Amino acid sequence: MLGKNQLSALPESLGDLASLSELLAALPESITRLARLTELDLGDNQLTTLPAFDGGLKQLVWLYLNGNKLTILPETLSELGNLKWL
């Protein structure tokens, strides 16, 4: 989902992808600095771990993780006080 954003362009290499599923194997720690993010769909990727949510993503309400290879969630997930849907 790319709605309601400030993107002015997408990289040309995006057209070379055969599928957008199974795209992510890891998330950068910097994702936790997205202070105003309210929804995050990470479903159907290859994630095995998530970064610690130490003090970040305070506005996150919706986090979708189905279809990954996660076996454990970070304890800091409990710090997401606005999270209503996991």
**pLDDT tens digits along 46-63:** 889 998 888 788 899 999
How large is the average pLDDT for residues 29-44? 87
State the burial class of residue 35 (Cβ atoms within 10 Å of its Cβ: 0-12, 13-18, 19+).
exposed
When comparing pLDDT for 45 and 23, which is higher? Answer: 45
Determine, yes or no, domain membership for 11.
no
pLDDT at 34: 85
Task: Give the pair of three-digit tokens for residue 64.
Answer: 């979708």
Determine, yes or no, domain membership for 83.
yes
Determine, yes or no, domain membership for 81.
yes
Task: Find tokens 């998530």 and name the residue.
Answer: 50
Under the banding of pLDDT at 50, 70 and 90, the label for residue 2 is low
pLDDT at 60: 93
3-state DSSP call for residue 39? Answer: strand
Determine, yes or no, domain membership for 27.
no
Determine, yes or no, domain membership for 62.
yes
Under the banding of pLDDT at 50, 70 and 90, the label for residue 18 is low
Determine, yes or no, domain membership for 66.
yes
Q: How many domains does the chain have?
A: 1
Range of the domain at 45: 33-86
Determine, yes or no, domain membership for 14.
no
Is the pTM higher than 0.85? The answer reads: no
Determine, yes or no, domain membership for 52.
yes
Question: Percent of the chain beyond pLDDT 70?
Answer: 78
User: CA 63, CA 86: separation in Å to the nearest integer?
Assistant: 5
Cα Rg for the chain, rounded, in angstroms? 14
